[in-house]
A and B are shown apart, each in its own frame.
Chain A
Amino acid sequence: MSNNTDSHPDLISPGEIKPANLELETVRKKLAGSTGPRYWRTLQELADQPAFGELLQREFPRGAGEWLDPVSRRGFLKLAGASMALAGLAGCTKQPIEQILPYVRQPEYLVPGKPMFFATAMPFAGYSHPLLVETHEYRPTKIEGNPQHGACLGGTDLFAQASILDLYDPDRSINITYKGEPRPWGEFLGSVRGRVLYHNANQGAGLRFLTGATSSPTFGSQMKAIQQLFPQSRWHRWEPVHRDGAREGSKLAFGGYYDPIYKFEAADVVVSLDGDFLSGSWFPGFVRYARDFMGRRKNPEKGMNRLYVAESAPTTTGAKADHRVPARNSEIENIARALAAKVGVAGAGGGQISADQQKWVDAAAADLMQHKGKGIVVPGVFQSAAVNALAHAMNAALGNAGQTVTYIDPVEIDPLEHTQSIRELLADMSAGKVETLIIMGGNPVYDAPADLEFGSVLEKLVSDQKNMVIQLSIYKNETTDFATWHLPQAHYLESWGDARSFDGAVTLMQPMIAPLYDGRTANEFVAIFTDEPSTSGYDLVRAYWRSQHTGDDFEAWWRRSLHDGYIADSAFAPRQVAAKLGAIPAAPANSNGIEIIFRPDPTIYDGTFVNNAWLQETPKPLSRNTWDNVAYISPAMAQRFGFFVLETDGIAKSDSESNVNRDHQSDAQNVLELTIDGRKVKVPVWPQPGHPDQAVTLFLGYGRKKTGNVGAGAGYDAYSVRSAGSQYTASGSIELTKDQWDIAITQGHFTMDTREPVKAGSLQEFLKDKDFAHNAEEEPKTEDTLYPDYREKGWYKGNAWGMAIDLNSCVGCQACSVACYAENNISVVGKAQVQRGREMMWIRIDTYYAGDPANPSVYFQPLPCMQCEDAPCEGVCPVGATVHSTEGLNDMVYNRCVGTRYCSNNCPYKVRRFNFMLFADYTTPVLKLGRNPDVTVRSRGVMEKCTYCIQRITAARINAEEQNRVKNGRIDIRDGEIKTACQQACPADAIIFGDINDPNSRVAQLKAQERNYSLLAEVNTRPRTTYIAAVNNPNPELEKA
């Protein structure tokens, strides 16, 4: 009975990794031969390899030790908590007397019990995300996109949704420290003032600032002021996930820095050269772009845009492509050249590409030529300067520039190339030219290029007493160890400030809550150097805009801007710039060595969110693993290593039970050791369908040495092998170790088996048979049921809630899942519990692969509770804890549930989640502030699930009733008045909720479409949540070929 809970896998005997005797060729042949939908379960199964039986043998159960979660701060198993659960002995227990503490002076406008919404913005990698924040008695509880702002139109990404958890993170830095010792603000101020006086004397020689990219006008003006006060001082910039390639590219093409703005709503053909604009906010404008792009795919009848993607690391953008071609990072440039040459860019060409890639290029080129001015070539922000330059040139040559692509001045203040900037800083530091180093945000010791050895240089610097390093940071991190002074930074929800969104529009930040830990904003901090210490952030921001605003209506203007959250018409005007293909560096030689690709992690970005439990538990798109970063390799490469980790038949959950059978492949992943110019790192491999061969993709942000309890010990550190010279692509060597690495995955099968939960077809098929999503002989008549007919009982007469999910639009970004965590107080369970198959996600995104493993089609299917009209869960609950509501919901009554789990067993969709232990954290005080007061916090032994955000429905209904809004016997709740959390968060507008009794509601109209189908209609559960079948738009030319 192995009771192994250590996260560092130990050795296994060499014999364990048995070569799966299966060649990719056999797989291909099988697929070629197979008829019907070519969905495969596992590569083993495809080839029904003999080793299968032996795999089964290896699953023979070991008794599982009862584990304690290694990464859990919250120790679910605390008996304290258990006793709390036992206190739930309701019925005849006596309630303790509670106290009420009324205000002494109640704030104006505050209505206790009613939420208030304020506009603000979240700064992210130099851009801002405009937000609306829900607050209860001035405690922010939920984040939404600002619907009035063009940068998001109400949508958000998962980072914005989860950022609220950082505000309440008990692991935040809570005090000012001097060499690790707590100190009062006064002493800090004194010490820094001393520094300021000193540098006043020497013109600021040796005074250096290091920040991430910023677009805050106020901060910009402050830094300018500092430049004048301290002419010798310098401001360095470092974003680990920077866009230097794009910067250089625009310099090559335009001779200056410009940011491209894409108009996907106007584009018929989109060609992406690793341009990952449908995955996450590391692509500036993602939220808006997802909306615009998918806007062209919602009504296939009216025609669709077409998406060609050539990409290295598989992304959700590639998953949505009509034609995707995998290419290693270095090959992308050759593809770009070939494409450019074909669309008539002079001086392009050169560089070989494979036959597949050639086919793709020809088709894409032809399409682009046919749609001049109506196409877009999107370069990857992590791609080389050449790729970016070529893309600009192509857009110019195709007449897209000015039509579908416009260029604006860079949004970043004082734009520069970050790698260059930090190189210079380190050079000066080593040369002893730096005496005072101020690090605002960021964590260079951890994420600066490994070969620059920021840590040791910094150590040398601080070792000299006359030098001083000051760090302003929201967490105490690796860099803190070397800082003379550490000052806690205020979370953006605690801050006054401003920043520009990707289109240049200024968004204003206002605090939702006073700083919990006496944090300071960057503005307030640098004010010390401009001789206005202890000036409030509010005064600083206001003063700046006072100076900017012309006209005497400042007060009114200022109030309106704050209310709206942005400054009207402040977006940058497009610049007329002509792209000419300058001297782009020569085409790189095709090497067949192993290529290492670096990418930000899909859920914790560059490491910023490593301590965010929601994001840690959010499965990474495509691989569906949590609490770790894995390294993608191609199935073919895994083949050559002689193993397969893509789930063997159905065992994902058990396999990933570290303490059950460690010797199983898809539990304990094989570990590769990477070597890049001398530096080594051990990474768990994940053969990712669609990954280019001879390449390994590493994800940044994990393997932290110093962070909070959530992020501690998770994953490997990709920065440790990332050098300044090769930040997104490097060449290295790999070798298979005998180590094993337990990962936690939330989905076992990536195949639809015979069940076809996702209905998908091509545009041609759809136009031929609009009803293709339905399979008549399989769908029973709705009256063939033993369930009570609620309609006969006169139910559903009022509002009848329903949801339609457009599979075409879903980009699998996970924003909905995280939004649900925030809205519904969902507990995080930790890695070990996820490995046991006990994650609590109410809306998951099922991911399925179909076709050739080397380049499969991918389907996303968001899956909340289906709210069946004939719900299998309801009949079997012995205590009636899950019951039908007159509006057609399956109400879940947590306080009535005794936890037989019968409902979950009987749920065909397995959307119910159970509190197997005390997952909810009752003990950490600060977390209580962030909870949604309108939703019960579920205790131990209780089943829970999605109820279409019943709290929002109730609030809206009460509101409507109090206003006496009644229309033909129904309470008149306007369409769109209720938005579920997932719907509101979705950037692509894929989730539509509303009243199906109202024929004019969007949901009713969607459900009227032919493409609308019920999941598992065979079971005749009559779900209220239905799906709009996916339709893709492949190029007929390519299809023929």
Chain B
Amino acid sequence: MAQLFHRSANTLARASILGVVLLLSSAGAALFQLQRSPYVTNQHIAPDQPIPFSHQHHVAGLGLDCRYCHTSVEESSFAGIPPTKTCMNCHAEMWTSADMLQPLRTSFRTGESIQWNRVHDLPDFVYFNHSIHIAKGVGCYSCHGPVDQMPLMYEENTLQMEWCLNCHRQPEKFLRPKEEIFNMTYQQPTEDHPVQWNGQNYFSQVALGNDLKKQYHLRTVQDITSCSTCHR
């Protein structure tokens, strides 16, 4: 009786087995990457804004302190987005006719808010609090990155839970002296760049971090990784 299949069928069969295995594993890998990709997290993506506000210009260029605009960052969960009035403090005088500031002037005239697109947007079931992080020696940089280098604001980190836990599980690796919180150019201590604090030179972040933990009364890792720390 004639052969049902051509000889190649055997190879085909074997190949397909291998193929399925490869396909599944690569699909898994792809998903793993996808959910961490900028496409999902918006990391490093600067959304369009009604006014192309440049932190680079205002922070690095003019040397404005973060708190000039983000007034409530030290006392409230919400750092605060400056009201139109704050911008007008200066821009009533300078660049009064710049086109790019038209929305600002309109807002001030009509009393309608400027509609900024949110850059750092946590899910509604996450209760992040700025003030406590600052009180415990977490610098703006640690989460927001080199804001002074950002012509347009973007998200430096994924803001995903694993990223948060990364610090909550080992804070000593990230803490800095409170004086340095708003300092964009601060560098963590290393062998050749020691950091001086409390009249003492630190050559490693861990050493500094551990002392800061004591000094700032950080709660234990179990404490700050309890679910209710962020979720209610």
Contact = CB atoms under 8 A, between A and B. Distances in A.
**A contacts B: CB pair < 8 Å:** yes
Interface of A: 90-95, 97-106, 111-114, 793-795, 797-798, 883, 885-887, 889, 891, 893-896, 934-937, 947, 950-951, 953-954, 958, 961-962, 964, 966, 971
Nearest to A880: B227
A794 B125 CA distance: 29
Given A100-B118, A947-B228, 11 more contacts: A92-B35, A102-B80, A102-B82, A102-B84, A112-B76, A886-B220, A886-B223, A889-B228, A937-B124, A962-B135, A971-B219
A730 B222 CA distance: 66
B190 to A, nearest CB: 30
Contacts of B85: 103-106
Interface stretch (B94-102, B107-115, B200-208): B107-115
Nearest to B31: A92
B131 A958 contact: yes
B77 to A, nearest CB: 4
B135 A961 contact: yes
Given A936-B125, A966-B217, A99 B231 contact: no
A886 B222 contact: yes
A972 to B, nearest CB: 10
A954 B136 CA distance: 15
B169 to A, nearest CB: 14
B72 A104 contact: no
Contact of A102 (B77, B114, B222): B114
Interface string B124-136: 1101010110011
B123 interface: yes
A92 B32 CA distance: 9
A165 B2 CA distance: 83
Interface in B31-52: 31, 34-35, 39-40, 42, 47
Given A102-B83, A114-B72, A114-B76, A91 B227 contact: no
Contacts of B77: 113-114
Given A100-B118, A793-B222, A950-B228, A894 B125 contact: yes
A962 B34 CA distance: 39
Contacts of B47: 97
A97 B81 CA distance: 17
Contact of B84 (A105, A891, A971): A105
Nearest to B35: A92
Interface of B: 31, 34-35, 39-40, 42, 47, 72, 75-78, 80-86, 107-108, 111-118, 121, 123-125, 127, 129, 131-132, 135-136, 217, 219-220, 222-223, 226-229, 231-232
Contacts of A962: 75, 131-132, 135
A174 B185 CA distance: 56
A934 B228 CA distance: 12
Contacts of B86: 106
Contacts of B108: 104
A452 to B, nearest CB: 53
22 contacts: A94-B40, A98-B118, A100-B117, A104-B113, A105-B85, A113-B77, A114-B72, A114-B75, A798-B220, A886-B220, A887-B226, A891-B231, A894-B231, A895-B231, A896-B231, A934-B232, A936-B124, A936-B231, A937-B124, A950-B232, A962-B132, A971-B217
A564 to B, nearest CB: 25
A797 B221 CA distance: 13
Q: Which secondary structure characterizes the binding site on chain B?
A: loop
Given A104-B83, A104-B108, A936 B232 contact: yes
Nearest to B86: A106
Given A102-B81, A105-B83, A954-B232, A95 B121 contact: yes
A833 B57 CA distance: 58
A953 B232 CA distance: 11
Contact of B116 (A99, A106, A797, A951): A99
A966 B218 CA distance: 11
Contact of A954 (B40, B107, B217, B228): B228
A112 B78 contact: yes
Nearest to A884: B226
A947 B76 contact: no
Contacts of A114: 72, 75-77
Nearest to A939: B125
A456 B124 CA distance: 54
B92 to A, nearest CB: 13
A80 B80 CA distance: 33
A406 B84 CA distance: 59
Contacts of A798: 219-220, 223
A111 B220 CA distance: 30
Contact of A958 (B121, B132, B223, B231): B132
A104 B127 contact: no
Contacts of B78: 112-113
B69 to A, nearest CB: 10
Nearest to B32: A92
Contacts of B129: 958
Contacts of B118: 97-100
A90 B217 CA distance: 35
Contacts of A103: 83-85, 113
A533 to B, nearest CB: 28
Q: Counting chain A CB atoms within 10 Å of each CB, which of B77, B107, B111, B229 scores highest?
A: B77
A935 B127 CA distance: 9
A961 B75 contact: no
Given A104-B113, A105-B85, A112 B217 contact: no
Given A104-B83, A112-B72, A793-B222, A94 B217 contact: no
A795 B132 contact: no
Contact of A106 (B31, B39, B83, B231): B83
Nearest to A824: B232
B76 A893 contact: no
A885 B227 contact: yes
B227 A883 contact: yes
A898 to B, nearest CB: 14
Contact of B232 (A112, A887, A935, A966): A935
A865 to B, nearest CB: 13
A111 B76 contact: yes
B85 to A, nearest CB: 5
Contacts of B232: 934-936, 947, 950-951, 954
Contacts of B112: 104
Contacts of B121: 95, 97-98
A91 B162 CA distance: 12
A25 B187 CA distance: 88
Contacts of A102: 80-84, 113-114, 116
Contacts of B83: 102-106
Contacts of B219: 798, 886, 971
A92 B222 contact: no
B9 to A, nearest CB: 39
Given A94-B39, A114-B76, A947-B232, A893 B227 contact: yes
B117 A961 contact: no
Contacts of B82: 102
Contact of B226 (A95, A797, A891): A891
Given A104-B85, A105-B83, A961-B217, A895 B123 contact: yes
A894 B125 CA distance: 8
Contacts of B84: 102-105
A915 to B, nearest CB: 14
Contacts of A99: 115-118
B226 A885 contact: yes
B33 to A, nearest CB: 10
A824 to B, nearest CB: 9
A798 B218 CA distance: 12
Contacts of B222: 793-795, 886
Contacts of B231: 891, 893-896, 936
Given A92-B31, A99-B116, A113 B217 contact: no
B158 to A, nearest CB: 12
A964 B222 CA distance: 20
Contact of B228 (A91, A92, A885, A937): A885
